[in-house]
Amino acid sequence: MSDGVQHVLGYLKLMHFENPNFYYAIRGDPSASNVFWIDAASRSNYTYFGDTIVFDTSYCSSDYKVPFATFTGLNHHGQPILFGCAVMLDQSEASYIWLFQTWLHAISGKSPISITIEPARFVQTAVSQVLPNTRLRYCKWSVFKEVQTRLAHLYESQPNIDAEFGKCVESESIEEFESRWGMLLEQYYLMDDEWMRSVYDARRMWVPVYMRDTFFGDHCGEGNKGRNIYFDGFITAETTLQVLIEDYKKAVGIWHEKELRADHDTSNTIPLLKTPSPMEKQAGSVYTKKIFMKFQEELFQTLANTATELEESGGVTLFRVAKFGEDHRDRIVTYNPIEAKATCGCQKFEFSGVICRHILAVFRAKNVLTLPSEYLLKRWTRNAKSGGSLDKHAAEEPTNSPESVTIRCDNLQQDVVKVGEEDAKYIQVYNVAMNALEEAAKKVAAVKNQGVAQGGSLANGENPLASCQPAMTLPMGDSKLENPSIQTTINGEKNHELLENIQKLVMNLNEKFDNCDRKCVHGH
């Protein structure tokens, strides 16, 4: 695969040359290496949508010619969004540890709240070691697929087992799951099956009811039944390294267009309200179109759900909420009227970030007319990309470490990219943004020249012309080490002036904006 690897590396070097915030790293011999990359837009998007991610290794199976792994998440429209890719020619435990360390470095060290992976031991070890505070979940559909393979004889002879197994897994309470699981084992004589015992022992890693206290964005995204939706239709079993980059670029381009189209639909479509509720009107003006429809369905369902007050203690009121005619499927909601806060046993809000019908039923009963701000998760709103990001390392105190310089450099470049992503949509806003960027470049030059004249130094104590390191290659460590350290070396020539990077980005943005303007004129 050496020719294919060199083709990929050639593309990555070109992308980094065109945009210093394009990050890539290699591990191992160039002829048989692992390669990771993440573009500038993905690094920027991670600051807004990096709360939950999926690490997909399904393309790393023997069914595919290229062992291709991806980091993806969900944007504010519930669409898949890319957070990095890797070609894993070596799939050892050390390689996956390296990959996650490299990825974490590329996204400025901000760990996600949750991650979904294939049930693979090496990947689980890497996640546990590199992301110890991130909630780990197995891909439910991968477990389903494995069950179908292991119990193929039952799936062929017992047509109902698939539906019954699915119903068991989707239980609404732990007690319900435990009961259904026991009946399933008895019905199909699986009580002594050791493999099914191992699946049960791992239930807290993949059965939804055990994980609903953590945000995974479920029920709001596209393609919940599969892991490969981002590259679905682009990467196939016959894809080679030589054509991988072209398929990658096509997928990125199409999903970017889909996001722009969703942005346009949200901005230019008046939400169709089903009720005169001020809360529905509020949500329609705040959420993106798709997420509003999710909320609207929950609000509409409150018409069939009744909230009955059970007791009050210490300023907190307990409610029982049930759908008409389904009293046996009730939910308990606790409500604090002073803080206008409520929690529900279904934990839909904690799991998906969209408030549930049960809390909304209590709000309706207590005459709460608008949604409290804490139930309007910013990542699902029209303004998800405005204002501050999830984390801003540039706000930290300056340090003498090279990593601190790299992070500040990355943050400056990412902010320029954010301006390009958002402000290119509107010509008037684009003009303002470009004037501001050009003025900023002049001020940076003036301050830097003043610092040189006065013998000033940077935050790390170095000369102002010291290098800035926006992208790095990471050489191969000892594969025998359980946790190989990351040693960084500069890839390509050093950037001796931050101003050059900013000016280069401004030039690239000018070209992108001109292309965007032409598309807008022609109605694309």
Give the tens place of pLDDT for each residue, 33-54: 799 999 999 999 999 999 999 9
452 plus 350 within the same structural domain: no
For residue 196 the two structure tokens come to 């099914």
- Other beta carbons within 10 Å of 24: 26
Answer whether residue 270 is part of any domain. Answer: no
Answer whether residue 160 is part of any domain. Answer: yes
Answer whether residue 388 is part of any domain. Answer: no
Answer whether residue 49 is part of any domain. Answer: yes
How far is the CA of 45 from the CAs of 85, 402, 422, in angstroms?
15, 24, 11
Q: Which residues lie below 8 Å from residue 248, measured CB to CB, with a gap of 6+?
A: 85, 231, 234
Q: What is the pLDDT of residue 6?
A: 84
Q: Is the backbone of residue 461 left (phi > 0), alpha (psi -120 to 50) or beta?
A: left
CA distance 139 to 117: 6
14 plus 158 within the same structural domain: yes
356-374 confidence digits (pLDDT tens): 999 999 999 999 999 999 9
253 plus 282 within the same structural domain: no
Q: What is the pLDDT of residue 420?
A: 59
CA distance 51 to 34: 26
253 plus 128 within the same structural domain: yes
How far is the CA of 340 from the CAs of 246, 313, 329, 364, in angstroms?
52, 16, 25, 12
How far is the CA of 241 from the CAs of 27, 91, 230, 238, 503, in angstroms?
17, 17, 18, 10, 33
Q: What is the pLDDT of residue 7?
A: 86
Answer whether residue 118 is part of any domain. Answer: yes
Helix ranges restricted to H, 205-333? 241-268, 278-286, 289-301
- 140-175 in b/e form (b: 16+ CB < 10 A) is bebbbeebeeebeebeeeeeebeeebeebbebeeee
217 plus 314 within the same structural domain: no
Answer whether residue 366 is part of any domain. Answer: yes
For CA atoms 459, 463, 469, 474, the dihedral sign is negative
Listed in order, strand segments (DSSP E) in 106-215 are 114-117, 135-138
Answer whether residue 218 is part of any domain. Answer: yes
306 plus 359 within the same structural domain: yes
Answer whether residue 485 is part of any domain. Answer: no
Domain enclosing residue 436, as ranges: 404-476+497-521
Q: What is the pLDDT of residue 408?
A: 52
273-306 confidence digits (pLDDT tens): 999 999 999 999 999 999 999 999 999 999 999 9
Q: Is the backbone of residue 175 left (phi > 0), alpha (psi -120 to 50) or beta?
A: alpha
152 plus 82 within the same structural domain: yes
26 plus 116 within the same structural domain: yes
- CA triple 391-392-398, angle to 5 deg: 140
217 plus 289 within the same structural domain: no
334 plus 373 within the same structural domain: yes
Q: Which residue has the tokens 């900023």?
A: 440
The count of structural domains within the chain is 3
What are the residue ranges in the chain where pLDDT is below 70?
1-2, 29-32, 219-228, 388-427, 429, 447-524
76 plus 225 within the same structural domain: yes
180 plus 103 within the same structural domain: yes
